[in-house]
Amino acid sequence: MRVIIIDDHALFRDGLRGLLEQRSIDVAGVAADGREGIELAQKIRPDIILLDLRMPKMGGLDVLPVLRKELPDTPVVMLTTSNDESDLIKALRTGAQGYLLKDMEPEELVAALRDIEKGKNVVAADLTDALARMVQGDTGVDDDDGPFSELTPRETEILCLLAEGQSNKLIARNLGISDGTVKLHVKAILRKLNIHSRVEAAVMAVEHGLRNKEKS
């Protein structure tokens, strides 16, 4: 496994590099800021990108969408001190495949990276409740979207892709999440819209102009 580390704290970068290399994980490069990290990722094309959330000038949440666009098949993992639920939700909605905390045990971190390498989405144990609420739609939007008002932004995004005829596998690849996560979101969409198939969901989205609205 080849990884790169994007983090503005030199001591943490060096410590993490040593920790991972001791456990047979190849740290192919490190970057001290977001822009440098983007360039490094494009050059090295690692298996996994470890990205800090809080960085000056260009923070992790600004770097993340660029990485998702430039390297859509490369998992990006937020590695941060923030256990704020809103940061978790923003990161996952923007396409992070993992959200891990810097104070986790080294072996837990390595195990998480191995899972992510296999295509799984991994969230720090302390934040699994927040993830469950997100998947179940308890963080729904408040604006008036008619029948779609209870959908979360991620669910709305997936519904728009359903309306384009995309499969779960293609949606997963485009959003940088697992097939299983897409299935959970689709199930929540059907439940909230009180319908029974993805075809019905797609038709409803087109009839209400949701697809066009999201692309405008």
Enumerate residues 6+ apart whose C-beta is below 8 A from 46: 2, 3, 4, 28, 29, 74
Tokens standing for 11? 């001591």
Query: Can you give the pTM of this predicted structure?
Result: 0.63
Give the residue with greater pLDDT, 86 vs 190: 190
How far is Cα 194 from Cα 189, in angstroms, rounded to an integer? 8
What is the 8-class DSSP label of residue 9? -
Single-letter amino acid code for the residue at 84: D
Tokens standing for 189? 């969409």
Mean pLDDT taken over the chain: 84
How far is Cα 171 from Cα 6, in angstroms, rounded to an integer? 27
Whether the domain at 2-126 and the domain at 146-215 fall into the same CATH topology: no
Instruction: State the pLDDT at residue 39.
Output: 96
pLDDT at 82 over 60: yes
Count of positions (residues) in the chain: 216
Query: Is the CATH number 3.40.50.2300 carried by domain 2-126?
Result: yes
Rounded average pLDDT over 140-153: 64
How far is Cα 83 from Cα 105, in angstroms, rounded to an integer? 16
pLDDT digits (tens, 9 = 90+) for 98-135: 899 998 888 999 999 998 888 887 888 777 666 655 55
Instruction: State the pLDDT at residue 141.
Output: 38
Give the residue with greater pLDDT, 25 vs 127: 25
Instruction: State the pLDDT at residue 140.
Output: 42
Rounded average pLDDT over 29-51: 96
Rounded average pLDDT over 34-52: 96
Instruction: State the pLDDT at residue 132.
Output: 58
CATH number at 146-215: 1.10.10.10
How far is Cα 59 from Cα 45, in angstroms, rounded to an integer? 20
Count other C-beta atoms under 10 Å from residue 200's C-beta.
14
pLDDT digits (tens, 9 = 90+) for 44-69: 999 999 999 999 889 999 999 999 89
Count other C-beta atoms under 10 Å from residue 120's C-beta.
15
Domain ranges of the chain: 2-126, 146-215
Candidate ranges 39-43, 100-104, 141-145, 197-201; pick with highest mean pLDDT: 39-43
